[in-house]
Structure 1
Amino acid sequence: MADTTPQADAAAPEATADRKAARLAKQIRAFATSHGGSAEGQLAHIARGTTRIALVGANGEWGNLVAPSMETARTAAALAGLTLHDDFDGEFAAKVRTGPYEWSRMAGLQLGGPANPQQ
């Protein structure tokens, strides 16, 4: 029979957050391994309590993960040994390597990329 005491009910969300942080940490480590052996990151609140984990690999490749809370994101970063930056600017932003796809998406028609949809 399942334990339905208040202590068990309170522990369930914490256990779920721990599992999510462990999964995110595994994804962060996999990203680092496949992009030069290390990665750095920055955490940013995006919406409804969720947090973006922006990752930049040693080779300049970048990616994002989304955590359900800032606390889960911080725990995942700590478990993965991720170096965190306060802001995504300066030296950290300069490490990002962008390719033709990103430039065409950012510049749109100016560089022959897709047009912005008509509103």
Structure 2
Amino acid sequence: MSSAETLTPAADARTERRAKRIAKHLTAFSKQHGGSADGVVEYVGQAATRIVVVGADGSWGDQVAPSYAVGRRAAELAGITLHDSFEGELGLKVRTGPYEWKRMAGIQLGG
């Protein structure tokens, strides 16, 4: 029996409400950055999942969801094209700016 089959109706409704709330943010991001977005849903740990999205213009952002089911459902509701990983084609779409380069250099240099 999968975890999806063991959800109670109340838990299922709670998952849907949480997903809809997160989907609003993802939809707004998509509209603001070219009208569409690609993304990936990644486990952060037992208590969280990260939804990383890349807009059509290369801008990227993320949202944290309380579970993988909520994160995946939120991405589906927002019309995000989901990928299996943040490699290859999806990674190439990301446009980084001065902030990211400065931050990455600071981490490399121990800053």
TM-score (structure 1 length as normaliser): 0.80
Q: Unaligned stretches of 5+ in structure 2?
A: 1-7
Q: Unaligned stretches of 5+ in structure 1?
A: 1-9
Match of 2:55 in 1: 57
Distance 2:39 2:17 in 1: 20
Answering whether residue 27 of structure 2 is matched by residue 29 of structure 1, we say yes
Distance 1:109 1:49, change over 3 A: closer
Q: In structure 2, what residue type is equivalent to 1:17?
A: T
Deviation at 1:15, TM superposition (A): 2.0
Answering whether residue 65 of structure 2 is matched by residue 85 of structure 1, we say no
| Deviation readout 1:80-100 (Å, 9 max, x if unpaired) | 111001110111101000001
Q: Secondary structure at the match of 1:87?
A: coil
How many residue pairs get aligned? The number is 104
Rg larger for: 1
Deviation at 1:115, TM superposition (A): 5.3
| Deviation readout 1:52-91 (Å, 9 max, x if unpaired) | 0000000100001011111111111111111001110111
Match of 1:99 in 2: 97
Answering whether residue 18 of structure 2 is matched by residue 11 of structure 1, we say no
Match of 2:67 in 1: 69
**Larger RCO: 1 or 2 (CA < 8 Å, sep 6+):** 2
Identity level (%): 53
Distance 1:15 1:95, change over 3 A: same
Distance 2:85 2:77 in 1: 21
Q: Secondary structure at the match of 2:61?
A: strand
Distance 2:91 2:66 in 1: 24
Q: Secondary structure at the match of 2:91?
A: helix
